[in-house]
Amino acid sequence: MDIDEILKQKQLKITPQRRAILTVLERSESVLSAQEVFREVQELLPGTNFSTIYRNLDTLLSRGLLCRIPRENGGDLYAIRRESGHHHHVICKACGASFSMDFCPMEALERELKKQGFDPTEHRFEVYGYCNKCRSSKCDK
């Protein structure tokens, strides 16, 4: 992933903070909270403050470079947008591993809602559970 090229394509200024945020999220095998991104960026760019991270997460999100995933117990998680188009996320509750899926249960529901005179404009759908590795380790205990 050429971070500078991606930022240029999205007409964003290339800053050390944006590079660091995208590097952290690209290297991560799981979705991360803003606080986790902040801690990881601190290792790459000591002295970066949390408000800078938060502002840049919003900017990168608004330009379609990130996905924001609501956490089941509140707060948001972030991941690099690795595919374009509509998709949903599956998140492991133990290790935070995440993958996206193209399947959308809303398609069937939308037809029914339209019959009822309701026009949905957006939705969110995440699945939380345990990945194979974490489920196996839970069974071993």
pLDDT at 85: 65
The token pair at 109 is 């529901």
- Pick from 42-46, 64-68, 126-130 the range whose average pLDDT is largest: 42-46
CB of 57 within 8 A of CB of 47? Answer: no
Report the candidate in 80, 59, 79, 61 with the shortest Cα–Cα distance to residue 69: 79
Quote the CA–CA distance of 60 and 118 in Å, as a whole number: 32
Report the candidate in 101, 87, 99, 96 with the shortest Cα–Cα distance to residue 40: 96
Instruction: Please report how the helices 34-44 and 50-62 are oriented relative to each other, as an axis angle in degrees rounded to 10.
Output: 110
Quote the CA–CA distance of 63 and 99 in Å, as a whole number: 21
What are the residue boundaries of the structural domains of the chain, listed by start? 1-82, 85-141
Bigger pLDDT: 23 vs 71: 23
What CATH number should be reported for the domain whose range is 85-141?
Answer: 3.30.1490.190
Mean pLDDT computed over 22-36? 92
The token pair at 124 is 């969110």
pLDDT digits (tens, 9 = 90+) for 97-118: 777 777 777 777 888 898 899 9
Give the other-Cβ count within 10 Å of 56's Cβ.
21
Confidence of residue 94 (pLDDT cuts 50, 70, 90): confident
> pTM surpassing 0.75?
no
What CATH number should be reported for the domain whose range is 1-82?
Answer: 1.10.10.10
The DSSP symbol for 59 reads H
| Cα of 29 vs its chain's centroid, Å | 11
CB of 120 within 8 A of CB of 106? Answer: yes
The answer to whether residue 59 scores a pLDDT higher than 90 is yes
Quote the CA–CA distance of 40 and 24 in Å, as a whole number: 6
